[in-house]
Structure 1
Amino acid sequence: MDIEKEKNDWSDEELEAAVEGYLKMLAIEKSDQKLNKAHENRLLREGVLMNRSRVSIEYRMRNISTVLHDLCLPYIVGYLPAKHLGAGVTQRVRAAMIAKGAFDPDDYAPTANDQTLNTKVQKLEQREFIGIPRGIDKPQRLNGTISTFFRDPLVKTWVLKEANGVCEGCGQDAPFKQANGSHFLELHHVKHLADLGSDRPSNAVALCPNCHRRCHYSSDRDEFTASLYTKVKRLKPE
C-alpha cells in the first residue's frame, strides 16, 4: 500500500483511533511498565485501523509525537517526531488529539493580555516540559490605547523554568514567591518586541524587577543589555 497516499486519506475516525492508541501507549510508558509497541500496533490493525499497514501506523504515531513535541509535551520515546509535517496533517492530528482530551488548545494560544498570559503560564508551569518551544518569530501587534503583542505562553513558561528562581541578569534569587509558590521573575525580550524582536527563548530572559527596569531606564541599559548575551548562552542577537 502507498504510504504517501495513506498519509493524506485517513478518516477522522481512524485518526482518533490512532491518537487513542498512542495515548494508551504513552500512559504505559510513563507508568514505567514495559511497552510492547508491536503488540499495540497489531491491536490497532485488528480494529478501526484494519486497512492500515504496520508501517503506516508507525508513521502516524510519529506525526502525533511531532504535535506533542511542538507543545513541549512528553511523547513516546520510540516514536521520534517526524520532520516536515505538513500544516494540513498537523491541523487534523491536533484536532483528533483535542477530541480525545490530550490537551486544551486554549492553554497554548498566544495572547496579548498580560493577565491571561500569566494565567496560562501558571497552568503550564505544573506540567512536564520536553524540549524548547519555538515561540513566535514576528509577534503580531494589537493596536489600542497601549500597543501590545501576542505572546506565546510556552515561551514565558520555559524561560521561567530555565531560570529556576534565579535572576538571569544579576544572579540573585527572585525577590519573593507568589501565592502559588512560584518564584517572581519577569520576562524581558532583549530585543524589544516594538523593535521587531521575536518572542522566542533565544530573545527572552527572566529578570528580577530591578534588573528588568535597569534594561529599560538605567543610564547603563545598553551595556547591561549587552552583558546578557554573555551571561545567558541561549541568547542570540537579532
Structure 2
Amino acid sequence: MAIHFSKMFSATKRASSGDWSDEELQATVASYAEMMQFDAEGTPYVKAHYYRDLSTRFGRVEGAFERRMQNISYLLESQGLERLRGLKPQRNVGANVQPRLKGFLDGVFGELSTPLRFAEELVDTAGVIEGVKKQVTVNAYERDSTAKRRCIKRWGCTCAACGFDFHKVYGDLGKGFIHVHHLKPIHTLGGSYLLDPENDLRPVCPNCHSMLHRKTEVLSIEDLRNILARERQN
C-alpha cells in the first residue's frame, strides 16, 4: 500500500507576502515523494492532480507547484539521485527557498547535503599525512532506496560474499539492515545506462563492501568469496 505523504502535513494558507512557507514546501516535497513511490510501484497517477490539490490548499497557481517540483528534480539530480520522469530540473530555486527545500528533502530522501563520490574514484594518494581519516562512500545507485528495496526483495539481507546476517546476530536491531553493491564498476557505464536492481545489485555487509572497493580495481564478489575461503583454511 502506498504511503500518502501529502496527507502528512496539514493544509495552511500561503503568506500574503508571496513567500513560500515551510508548509507549502513540505507539502510539495511530500507530493513529489508520493509520485516517486507510485512510479516505482508502477501505479498510475496524474501530476496535474497534485498541482491542483496543492493550489487549492495554499492559494497559489498550479504552475508554481510544477516549477517548484522541477526545482526538486534539480536538487536530486545535482546529488546524483533519481528524480521523477517528466519533471525536468530547473535551477532557479531561490536563495531563501533552497536551504529549506533541501532540508525537507533530506528528511524524505536522506543526506542530500553529503557530496557523492563513486567508491571507485577513492584511490590512495602518495604523500597523505598518516592518520588522516579515509572516507568510503557508495554511488547513487547504491544509495537509492527504491533500487535497494528491489535488490533486497530479490536477494534478501544476507551478505552475498560472507553470508553474514545482521538479523540473526543482532535480532530486531539488525532486521533489514544491509548494504548493496553494484556489480558493474560505475566508470564502465555510459550516461544512458539503465539500472536493473535485481541483476545489477547484490546485498553485502559493510565489511565486505569495503573490501570489494579496497583496491583501485573493484573485486568481484566471487573473488572476495575465494579470498575468504582461502583465509579460513589457513
TM-score normalized by the length of structure 1:
0.47
TM-score normalized by the length of structure 2:
0.48
